[in-house]
Amino acid sequence: MGLQTKSHAQVTCFGEVLWDILPDGPQPGGAPLNVAYHLNKLGINTGIISRIGQDDNGRMLAQLMDKWKINHELLQVDDIHTTGEVLASLSNGNEVSYRIVFPVAWDFISAEHAALEQVAASDYFIYGSLAARNETTLRSLLHFLELDVFRVLDINLRYPYVKRAVLQELMPRADMIKLNEAELDVVQTIFGGNYGTERDKIDFIQDKFNISEILITKGESGAAYYKGSERFYHYGTAVKVKDTIGSGDSFLAAFIAGHSKAAEPHEILKKAITMGAFIATHKGACPDYLLTDYLSFDA
């Protein structure tokens, strides 16, 4: 598949777009933007709904979306609040810690008519829990979640923006959720679960929120995919890591690409894990690469 070949699937990503201010310089980011970037690389038509400030940071993000061929016709411009920033630092083992500036433009995304129409025409709507930290964006998001589209919730717990009430609003409306092992523990505890095994934790969440499909990322240990009562697992890929920024977002993009083609679950997981590992060998969440680079790495 060439980079300009697009599948029939249509995806809309909703939420934060921002600059990660790293010790060695700024990088574009925000989970929805990262996912959209990699979906487009994988040949999936993807647009984004977000909000930027009327400032240089916002203009540079819009220019990058043009360059990356991400549909950003629905990108809103805020004349009061600035474009989002995250002050990030790397610790031992290449782990990343964040301080997320608040409030910023993406805290005030509105549910515009054209955006509602785009989501209604999409096959997948991908949204995250972090974007719902402010009431304005949360209320807009709930309008989108009333539409008939496959809804994918990326749980991204960043303190102090971990609120039971927000998760209570978002999780019952999801068709699929993605979270890591630590987030799985936090979520089940928040809602009164006290289970030791992964299977029991998943059963608790599936039963409580009526969610059939759950993705659990496990870093070097791979990932698991629960679909109803079935469990699929694939081990991780050992690589020389440059940083882990955005590797989970690239994993989700590759998973949705395979899911949209109704591929075999074990194969979807394998390709998604490979994508996450491939991006971890690069600097930043959205490194420049050709699809052939990923496919060669996959081989």
The predicted pLDDT at position 247 comes to 94
Q: Enumerate domains of the chain plus CATH numbers.
A: 10-298 (3.40.1190.20)
Q: CA 47: distance to chain centroid?
A: 13
- Closest alpha carbon to 77 in 55, 51, 112, 104: 51
Q: Yes or no: say if 124 and 144 are a contact pair by the CB < 8 Å rule.
A: no
* Secondary element (H or E) of residue 86: strand 84-90
CA dihedral 150, 113, 35, 46 (to 10 degrees): 80
Residue type at 10?
A: Q
Q: Please give the share of the chain, as a percent, with pLDDT higher than 70.
A: 94
| Cis amide bond preceding 28, omega within 30 | no
**Close Cβ partners of 135 (under 8 Å, ≥ 6 residues apart):** none
The CB density around residue 101, as the number of other CB atoms within 10 Å, is: 15
CA distance 282 to 294: 12
Give 96's pLDDT tier (boundaries 50, 70, 90): low
Average pLDDT, the chain: 93
Mean pLDDT within 86-105: 80
Find residue 88's DSSP bridge partners.
Answer: 98
The predicted pLDDT at position 84 comes to 98
Mean pLDDT within 15-41: 94
Find residue 47's DSSP bridge partners.
Answer: 12, 71
CA distance 51 to 109: 6
Give 9's pLDDT tier (boundaries 50, 70, 90): confident
pTM score, two decimals? 0.94
The predicted pLDDT at position 3 comes to 34
- 3-state per-residue secondary structure call for 115-143: HHHHHHCCCEEEEECHHHHCHHHHHHHHH
The predicted pLDDT at position 1 comes to 28
Q: Yes or no: say if 104 and 18 are a contact pair by the CB < 8 Å rule.
A: yes
pLDDT of 118 strictly over 60: yes
Q: Using the CB atoms, write b or e for 152-177: b if 16+ within 10 Å.
A: bbbbbbeeebbeeebbebbbebbebb
Q: What is the DSSP letter of 82?
A: P
Q: Please give the share of the chain, as a percent, with pLDDT higher than 90.
A: 85
